[in-house]
Amino acid sequence: MIYHCEDHTCNYWDEGEKLPERCPQCGRKLLRANEADMTGDDWTALGNTLWDAEASDKKRMVDCFRKAAYLGSAWGVCNLGICMEQGNGVEADPVQAFWLYQQAVEMGSLNAVCCLGVCYQYGIGTAPDAEKAAELYCKAAEYGSPRGQMLLARAFHDGIGVEADAAEAVHWVRAAAYQRYGEGMYRLGVCYEYGDGVEQNWEHAVHWFREAAESGVSVAMTDLGYCYEKGCGVEQSWEQAFSWYRRGAECGDLRSMHNLGYCYEKGRGVEQSWEQAFFLVSQRCGVRLSG
């Protein structure tokens, strides 16, 4: 049985033997879907639900994207290309992935423009062409794709297909950050931290680290904790540092695990606990503890 959230802006789709009462994303009612009425984008949304599923469900994911592509979904064609590129649920075929990205671009997919640019940058399914990659990043960025803006920012920062220009790189990072794009907000904080393309400003760095951290970017949680630990751009507070390191560690960030272990070891912002310190160091090193 295929079902979806009654709120189309939520765009949650899944399948199972029974119809759950509520959408796990927004809490709204779930409705049973009629396969004959499903659009290409509906099939893509269902396939996306299976993206992180067990290997046994990967074939079903690819089948969903194939159905989406058949129904003319640019989103589905692009995602099928990603599967082909990564070998996710299907044997990897970079040449086929490149072709699918080209088709999706012609159908209007901005994400496919970014994917095609990455193919040209790294020679995936085609000969490397840095200038073509930068051209595609620019196209996606100018049409408002935050991913495209970040790719173009990296191109300007590192001189990939364009002349290196730190200020222009920051311009595009800022554009992505203003769209509340997690990576963009975090990278803008880093730019202000190091004075990379802008004048160094710890207060601005803290602001953007906080924005990124509150949107769920784990590495930003770590950097914000560090700012509180050292008193950079904010009043020094071990309690706040501990709080952000803990949140970062819960999200799996290794630096946060290390720093949280230090807090427990030294009793910084929390009661000293050698047991917790040892546990976190073990987790960071990938040691599985018994008991």
> What is the overall mean pLDDT for the chain?
93
**What span, in angstroms and rounded, lies between the C-alpha atoms of 112 and 117?**
8
Buried b (16+ CB within 10 A) or exposed e, 111-130: bbbbbbbbbbbeebbbeebb
Residue 238 lies in a domain: yes
What string of DSSP letters covers 71-96?
TT-HHHHHHHHHHHHHTSSS---HHH
Residue 37 phi, psi (nearest 5): -95, -5
Residue 236 lies in a domain: yes
Residue 229 lies in a domain: yes
Helix 182-194 crosses helix 218-230 at what angle (to 10 degrees)?
A: 30
Tell me the CATH number at 281.
1.25.40.10
Cβ atoms of 275 and 241 closer than 8 Å:
no
The domain total for the chain is 1
Angstrom distances, CA of residue 24 to CA of 103, 123, 173: 33, 40, 32
Triad 110, 112, 118: Cα angle to 5°:
115
> pLDDT digit string (tens) for 232-253?
999 999 999 999 999 999 999 9
**pLDDT cut 70: percent of the chain above it:** 94
Residue 265 lies in a domain: yes
Q: 30 - beta bridge partners?
A: 5
Residue 244 lies in a domain: yes
Written as six digits, the tokens of 29 are 């009612």
> pLDDT digit string (tens) for 84-103?
999 999 999 999 999 999 99
Question: What single-letter DSSP state applies at residue 290?
Answer: P
Residue 276 lies in a domain: yes
Residue 268 lies in a domain: yes
Domain with 237 in it: 225-285
Cβ atoms of 257 and 280 closer than 8 Å:
yes
> pLDDT digit string (tens) for 122-161?
999 999 999 999 999 999 999 999 999 999 999 999 999 9
Residue 277 lies in a domain: yes
Assign 13 to helix, strand or coil.
strand
Cβ atoms of 134 and 172 closer than 8 Å:
no
**What span, in angstroms and rounded, lies between the C-alpha atoms of 287 and 93?**
36
Question: What single-letter DSSP state applies at residue 195?
Answer: T
Q: Which of 247, 259, 267 lies closest to 284, judged by CA?
A: 259
Residue 287 has a CB neighbour count (10 Å cut-off) of 10
Widest Cα–Cα separation across the chain = 62
> pLDDT digit string (tens) for 37-76?
999 999 999 999 998 777 668 999 999 999 999 999 999 9
